[in-house]
Amino acid sequence: MRTQVAIIGSGPSGLLLGRLLTLAGIDNIIIDRVDREYILGRVRAGVLEQGMVNMMREAQASEKLDAEGLPHDGFEIALNGGLHHIDLHGLTGGKRVTIYGQTEVTRDLMDKREADGVTTIYDAQHVTPREFGGKNPWISYEKDGATHRIDADFIIGCDGFHGPSRKAVPPKAIETFERVYPFGWLGLLADVPPAAEELVYGKHARGFTLCSMRSKTRSRYYLQVPLTDQVENWSDDAFWDELRRRLPEQVADAVVTGPSFEKSIAPLRSFVAEPMRFGKLFLAGDAAHIVPPTGAKGLNLAASDIRYLFDGLREHYADKSPAGLNAYSERALARIWKAERFSWWMTTMLHTFAEDDAFGRRIHDAELSYTLSSVAARTALAENYVGLPY
């Protein structure tokens, strides 16, 4: 098989790039180790920056997002029994975020790809990028007991944190930066109306909470938990009780409980790999970087990578110019590190760290107190939350 651009990974970054390439007349194949239903069963992000919404529009895949996405002009921070409003719209000169689940983004892009009749190979095993340091890169994989090969001009690693693309890079060609946080997020998804109109981020001595949503009838809640906790030991009742305990009374009273249909514990990690280009292999999205979800940046960073990468590929094919591809890694990393900083800062300020001494706890409290009381600090928070310009 031969294509112009071979994309490993059918998550949001691979699908978005594939759709934009198809619209630009650039041949592409996507290959994934699992199938469509498995991918659509993963529950992940839900807060979209305007840049991501614009990319979905450019990909002509925004009909449902435009109809069903919930624009949010702000969010609340719960502290010491009170609520503090962060007016994103007012503080950023009219910007906002949109609530729309990553699962829906993925489904919309998959549907477009199927309608386009473009090749996606699911259930492929041992997917490996090869000879990307030379002129003729290719991918090997196994499916149905046979070994196959895809030759391409470029290989794009959109295969998430555990995928094969980053691992195929010789160790001396790549530098990684990592911080693993000493807690995780226990997330629960239920078909109940959200407790509040906007997201509520809560700081509490018992740990962080987030009241989020996917729609007006589907809520997503999170609790900070120790990494040693097992999800099997958290009944729905125990979750709802702990959630209400950590929330101010007016929010706790508004929590509508119901049976969960997804419950999982996600570890929190900050991670960046540099550079993001190795000859004819490019990394994008979670394959190159991870942020703790506190700042809602993971999916949005995948979108900004694809912005820069798609522009570079289009320039390569349409204008015969290597400039965009040559600049990709540097441009993407400049934005990634700012989002890493913001996500680390939000995480540090809003969570409880068991190893903190009394001084550390006071400093974190003072950071939050200052942020809530200063227009300048709230503006910086809002500017980062809605997303820095591409």
Ligand X SMILES: Cc1cc2nc3c(=O)[nH]c(=O)nc-3n(C[C@H](O)[C@H](O)[C@H](O)COP(=O)(O)OP(=O)(O)OC[C@H]3O[C@@H](n4cnc5c(N)ncnc54)[C@H](O)[C@@H]3O)c2cc1C
> Which residues, including other chains, have CB under 8 Å from residue 384's CB and lie 6 or more apart?
295, 338, 339, 342
Query: How is 159-174 classified by DSSP, letter by letter?
Result: --TTSHHHHTS-GGG-
**Residue 389: CB minimum distance to ligand X, A:** 18
Based on the shown chain and the rule CB under 6 A, indicate whether residue 285 belongs to the binding site for ligand X: yes
* Per annotation, catalytic residue among 100, 181, 201, 221: 201
Q: Does 160 bind ligand X (CB under 6 A)?
A: yes
DSSP annotation of 276 reads S
Binding mask 103-142 for ligand X (x = CB under 6 A): ------------------------x---------------
Q: Contact between 17 and ligand X (CB under 6 A)?
A: no
Nearest to 283 by CA among 296, 268, 271: 271
Active site (annotated) includes residue 141:
no
Q: Is residue 164 within the footprint of ligand X (CB under 6 A)?
A: yes
First to last CA, the chain: 35
Q: For 61, phi and psi rounded to 5 degrees?
A: -130, 25
Six token digits for residue 13: 């970054």
Q: What is the DSSP secondary structure assignment for residue 255, as one 8-state letter?
A: P
In angstroms, what is the minimal distance from the CB of 96 to ligand X?
Answer: 16
We find the least distance from the C-beta atom of residue 43 to ligand X, in angstroms, to be 7
The residue within the footprint of ligand X, chosen from 8, 189, 190, 386 (CB under 6 A), is 8
Please name the residue that has the structure tokens 């094919």.
317
**The one catalytic residue among 203, 263, 297, 351:** 297
C-beta of residue 83 within 8 angstroms of C-beta of residue 250: yes
CB closer to ligand X, 32 vs 198: 32
**Sign of the dihedral through C-alpha 278, 284, 290, 294:** positive
Answer yes or no: are the C-beta atoms of 275 and 337 closer than 8 Å.
no
Position among 7, 21, 29, 45 found at the interface with ligand X (CB under 6 A): 45
Told to judge if 89 belongs to the known catalytic residues of this protein, a careful annotator would answer: no
Q: Give the contact letters, 292-311, x = binds to ligand X (CB under 6 A), - = no.
A: -x--xxxx--x---------
Q: Which residues are catalytic?
A: 72, 201, 293, 297, 385
Footprint of ligand X (CB under 6 A): 8-14, 31-34, 39, 44-46, 102, 127, 158-160, 162-164, 266, 285-286, 293, 296-299, 302
